[in-house]
Structure 1
Amino acid sequence: MLYSTSRQMNSIALFVCLSVITVAGCSAEKSDNIPELLIPVTGTVQLDGEPLGGTAVKFLPYGDTKGKGGYAITDSAGNFEAKDYSMAEGIEPGVYNVTFSKIAMPDGNPIPEGQTAADVGALEILPPHLTSVNPDNMKYMLTVESEPISIDYELNSKR
């Protein structure tokens, strides 16, 4: 059972990762167009005190920040390592608005193995204040300079 759950989480993570890459207009292969300077960004994500596995973490450029931003997928313990959209580890220096996304069954269970989100009516299970950029509430901002960053996001399902 644990193996099956782990495989389901990996399937979800792969689906979210491929969706993010497709939306960004990039291929799933490592690009030759890797930015000159990428800074390692690692951390954890928890929701209401519990690790939030199988979740996409998106780093969206803010203000004058150049580049495309980055993304990460959390493992079952909520750990992540950010990547640039070229698939290289790290993200460019700058200021980022950070959003979170978790696609699952309406009851919160993982998408069944061999199924896609569309097949089973899976949907975003995180509340809108975590999934969208809101100029009135820029709670999850990250400034990346020249040193590696480790950050822990302790999310609350309530606003």
Structure 2
Amino acid sequence: MRFLFIALGCVLITGCSRSGLHPVTGVVLLDGQPVANAALQFVPQEAGQDATGATDAQGNFAISTNEPRDGVKAGKYKVVITPRSTAPLQKFASADEAMKAAARPQPPPPSTFPQKYTRPDQTPLLVEVPMKEKSVRLELTSN
């Protein structure tokens, strides 16, 4: 009986490391330059759960499924990358002026980010997990 409790304790303690998830880290570059503050989505090509991440100022990222930086299950994933808006906040002289501006239709700001990377049905980016390398380098091009 004592052995059963010890064995059960070992399973409970090491259970998190046997989650079946593989760490995925890397960098996103557009024409050789880091892509800062972008959202990443790993879309499984078979049954599975999406995983997400975000790039820092240097384009580095770590992917999460359930908890920060826990990784993804083995499989093939399409990678979708969406830049976050960096438009400066507008300042208004009064609340009335702000309300009038909010009521006017605003065209979306022009994006220089290639749209093919922002949709799962168009992205050419594919990552297979577990990876052969320690991290993945996602090199995007403008054209």
- The normalised TM-score by structure 1 is 0.59
Q: Secondary structure at the match of 1:83?
A: coil
Partner residue in 1 for 2:73:
92
Cα shift at 1:68: 1.2
Q: In structure 1, how many angstroms separate the alpha carbons of the residues matched to 2:29 and 2:63?
A: 16
5+ residue gaps, structure 1, are: 1-34, 105-109
Q: Secondary structure at the match of 1:153?
A: strand
Q: In structure 2, how many angstroms separate the alpha carbons of the residues matched to 1:39 and 1:124?
A: 37
Q: Secondary structure at the match of 1:68?
A: coil
Flag the 1:55–1:138 CA change in 2: closer, same or farther, 3 A. closer
Q: Highest Rg: 1 or 2?
A: 2
Which whole-Å deviations, capped at 9, do the CAs of 1:17-66 have from their partners, x for residues lacking one? xxxxxxxxxxxxxxxxxx9311000000011111101011110011x2x3
Q: In structure 2, how many angstroms separate the alpha carbons of the residues matched to 1:113 and 1:138?
A: 31
Cα shift at 1:124: 8.1
User: Is 1:103–1:124's contact at 8 Å kept on the other side of the alignment?
Assistant: no
Partner residue in 2 for 1:21:
none
Alignment-mate amino acid for residue 55 of structure 1:
A
Flag the 1:143–1:114 CA change in 2: closer, same or farther, 3 A. farther
Flag the 1:47–1:37 CA change in 2: closer, same or farther, 3 A. same
Flag the 1:124–1:81 CA change in 2: closer, same or farther, 3 A. farther
Q: How many residues align?
A: 111
- The normalised TM-score by structure 2 is 0.65
Cα shift at 1:72: 1.0
Alignment-mate amino acid for residue 139 of structure 2:
E
5+ residue gaps, structure 2, are: 1-17, 92-101
Partner residue in 2 for 1:81:
62
Q: Would you say 1:43 and 2:26 are equivalent positions?
A: yes
Partner residue in 2 for 1:156:
141
Q: In structure 2, how many angstroms separate the alpha carbons of the residues matched to 1:102 and 1:71?
A: 13
Q: In structure 2, how many angstroms separate the alpha carbons of the residues matched to 1:44 and 1:152?
A: 5
Q: Secondary structure at the match of 1:87?
A: coil
Map of 1:82-121 to 2, 5 A cutoff?
82-84=63-65, 86-88=66-68, 89-104=70-85, 110-112=86-88
Q: In structure 1, how many angstroms separate the alpha carbons of the residues matched to 2:78 and 2:34?
A: 21
Report sequence identity in percent.
Answer: 28
